[in-house]
Structure 1
């Protein structure tokens, strides 16, 4: 059985990136992540991420280049991140507890979901170059 691909978006505006606070599952509730979701059968990574960000945050976006490497999740899923630019809309936490913009200096102190912590170096670089 092929791995389920899960996509995440690094929505960068100026020198900050948008993070979303998880509602569930219980072991991840309250922790922060790059927003995104699962790729449906027949859907491309970029199309899935655009759809998920529209559903979860109410944003119309352009999905750009990859950010960092794939992150393996529990042997059944692969997490993949992309840079994202907002075309239209203001983010609203439809599926999350809260949203917040954070700078590169704040990234190390965030209570991240473990998998997203893998991209801290790439996020820091994206926010400071």
Structure 2
């Protein structure tokens, strides 16, 4: 296999224009990540764009359709490193249709407030997602979502 595995993630918020709440998902597997929180999403399939992968994954994992907003851009490179073999790109997303349910890979969903960032930043996140959480909270606090 050549190149890195590409993963698309969504920071699902209650509003792209004025986000107050973030939807987070708790992993049910694999064992080393079970019970930890993450951004919903998944690997790109062959020939699939990040945006198309997000729409597919959110429908499969949560049963929802979304409107995508701005990307939570990585500090450097072409994505947020997940490990030595995979990178993730994350977009803000707003629900269009459906009530989020943990259909695949998750055992719980939770809306957490974004106001002070305390609850969002103190959850037991998958370690690779922590820098993304911090960048997201900084963007929300500064109002730079567009």
Q: TM-score, normalised by structure 1?
A: 0.93
Stretch moving more, 73-82 or 89-98: 73-82
Q: Aligned residue for 1:3?
A: 4
Give the secondary structure class of the aligned counterpart of 1:17: strand
Tell me how far apart the structure 2 counterparts of residues 112 and 72 of structure 1 sit (CA, whole Å). 15
Within the candidate set 63, 66, 71, 1:66 is matched to 71
Asked whether the equivalents of residues 12 and 127 of structure 1 are also in contact (C-alpha less than 8 Å), the reply is no
Could you tell me which residue of structure 1 aligns to residue 24 of structure 2? 19
2:93 matched to 1:84? yes
Unaligned runs of 5+ in 2: none
Q: What's 1:38 paired with? A: 43
SS in 2 for 1:92: coil
Tell me, which stretches of 5 or more residues in structure 1 are unaligned?
A: none
The 1-side partners of 2:67 and 2:52 are apart by 9
Does structure 1 conserve the Cα–Cα contact (< 8 Å) formed by 2:10 and 2:40?
yes
In the TM superposition, what whole-angstrom CA distance separates every residue of 1:16-59 from its partner, at most 9, and x where no partner exists? Answer: 10000001110000000010000101000000001000000000
User: CA RMSD of the aligned region, Å?
Assistant: 1.3
1:117 paired with 2:117, answer: no
TM-score, normalised relative to structure 2? 0.83
